[in-house]
Amino acid sequence: MSGAAEKLSVTVEALREQIRRLQAAPRKYLATLRTGVEAFDALLPAGGLPLGQVVELWGEAASGRTSLGLRAVAAAHREGRLCAYVDGPWELYPPAAVAAGVDPSRLLIVRPKTAEQLAWSAVQLVRSGAFACVVLDLTRAPPGTGKGEGGVRLSPAEGKRLMEAATRGGSLLLLLTAPDAPGDGMMRLRTEARGDEGLSVEVVRSRQGGIGSRAVMPWRELYPELGEWETPWGSELLPTEAVTVPELSRETERAAPEGHRGIMGQRPGRDGPMPSLRASLDAGTALH
């Protein structure tokens, strides 16, 4: 056997040995996405958001729907996975996503031009299996469509296609929905802002149980970038003691010297009317 053939044989045998070791090693499957918000993950029956299912985050505006969705995307990025975001209202703010832990290089943002393209785009992304998490924002229709300010309601056929695509592709599909247009997810979570107390999440629908369970998480847990503030909305900046404002003295108006009091002893334009110039204008017109 020549030297080149012998080296090739050794190389092939080394590759076979590596393949045998990889096949014998335990495989790691990502079955759930843990957002890192402990109260939220503990509320879910699987201890996190289940892959291969459709989960609906349903609530009013500013109720934490988008923030929870971005936390799920950030969790997938920590696992080295890709994600997609179908931005219905075209309102996703990239700096806020980065602050939530999202890796922009691993996030595909899709902005359809019509409401009919929203579900279709999500089906294609989820069915591909390339994305661990796909977020579909249905809180408002794309701008310029004339659909008003309400949410986009999916048809039963669209909801069925989305669930079939999630099951086949093994991806987590998160629906962000408005109160007047709920979706058809396998699990529905109601989000509600509770003032300074934090964010309330309730399990409204679930095939795995836990219906009626609720958890309230402080804003600081959902937004760790707030830092060490005791009250995130800045109420500490308000004064805690009464502040006395000294009364300012008002300077009395001094009388103008004689000869400088203007017409009729007043200042024209401020204290008294200006004299009429109609006679002078008429005289000037007559001269011409």
Chunked into runs of 10 residues, the chain (288 residues) has average pLDDT values of 62 70 56 91 92 95 94 95 96 93 96 94 94 96 83 94 94 95 91 92 90 91 64 42 58 54 52 62 55
Q: How far apart are CA 260 and CA 68, in angstroms?
A: 73
User: What's the topology of domain 32-228?
Assistant: Rossmann fold (3.40.50)
Tens of pLDDT, residue by residue over 44-86, are: 988 999 999 999 999 999 999 999 999 999 999 999 999 999 9
Beta strands 32-33; 133-137: pairing state = unpaired
What pLDDT, on the 0 to 100 scale, is given for residue 181?
93
What pLDDT, on the 0 to 100 scale, is given for residue 238?
44
Work out the angle at residue 74's Cα, subtended by the Cα atoms of residues 73 and 76, and round it to the nearest 5 degrees.
65
What pLDDT, on the 0 to 100 scale, is given for residue 196?
87
Helices in 85-182 by DSSP H: which ranges?
A: 94-99, 116-128, 156-169
Domain definitions of the chain by residue range: 32-228
Q: How far apart are CA 33 and CA 72, in angstroms?
A: 7
What pLDDT, on the 0 to 100 scale, is given for residue 275?
65
What pLDDT, on the 0 to 100 scale, is given for residue 32?
87
Give the pair of three-digit tokens for residue 236. Answer: 């500490």
Work out the angle at residue 192's Cα, subtended by the Cα atoms of residues 190 and 193, and round it to the nearest 5 degrees.
160
Q: Give the DSSP letter string of 17-37.
A: HHHHHHHHSPP----EE--S-
What pLDDT, on the 0 to 100 scale, is given for residue 43?
94
Q: How far apart are CA 196 and CA 71, in angstroms?
A: 20
Q: How far apart are CA 44 and CA 69, in angstroms?
A: 15
Q: Give the predicted TM-score (pTM) of the model.
A: 0.70
Query: Which among 229, 34, 275, 209 is positioned nearest to 132, based on CA atoms?
Result: 34
Q: Are 32 and 132 in contact (CB under 8 A)?
A: no
